[in-house]
Amino acid sequence: MTASHSSSDTDYACNPKVTPLPDCSHHSMPDSDVSVKDNRDSNVQALSCHSQVDSTVLEQRIAIAKQTCQSQGIRFTPLREQVYRLILQAPTPIGAYDLLAQLQKLSDKTVAPPTVYRSLDFLLEYGFIHQLSSSKVFFPCCQPDDKHVAAFLICQQCGDVQEFSHSPLDSVIQQVASQSQFDIQSSVIELLGYCQQCKEKSATKRSIG
145-158 per-position pLDDT tens digit: 667 677 889 899 98
Question: How many structural domains comprise the chain?
Answer: 1
The pLDDT score that the predictor gives to residue 48 is: 62
Helix (H, G, I), strand (E, B) or coil at 4: coil
Find out whether 186 and 16 touch, Cβ atoms under 8 Å: yes
Calpha distance 143→148 (Å, rounded): 8
37-88 pLDDT, tens digit per residue, is: 444 445 556 666 655 567 888 999 999 999 999 999 999 999 999 999 999 9
CATH number for 127:
1.10.10.10
Residue 8 lies in a domain: no
pLDDT reading at 7 higher than 50:
no
Mean pLDDT value across the chain: 77
Q: 107 lies in which domain range?
A: 47-208
User: 3 in a domain, yes or no?
Assistant: no
Q: What element of type H or E holds 39?
A: none
Q: Is it the case that residue 27 has pLDDT exceeding 80?
A: no
Alpha helical stretches, state H, 50-190: 55-71, 78-89, 96-106, 113-125, 167-179
Q: At what angle do helices 96-106 and 78-89 cross, to 10 degrees?
A: 120
pLDDT tens by residue, 162-190: 888 777 888 888 899 999 999 987 777 89
Predicted confidence (pLDDT) per residue in 82-117, tens digit: 999 999 999 888 999 999 999 999 999 899 999 999
**pLDDT at position 207:** 83
Q: Does residue 71 form part of some domain?
A: yes
Is 2 domain-assigned?
A: no
Query: Alpha-carbon distance 80 to 116, whole Å?
Result: 8
Buried b (16+ CB within 10 A) or exposed e, 192-201: eebbeebeee
Do the domain assignments include residue 85? Answer: yes
What pTM does this model have? 0.68
Q: Is the pLDDT of residue 132 over 50?
A: yes
Confidence (pLDDT) at 209: 65
In a domain, 24, yes or no: no
Residue 83 covered by a domain: yes
Asked whether residue 154 is assigned to any structural domain, the reply reads: yes
Distances (CA, A) of 118 to 5, 26, 92: 11, 47, 22
Structure confidence at residue 12 as a pLDDT band (50, 70, 90): very low
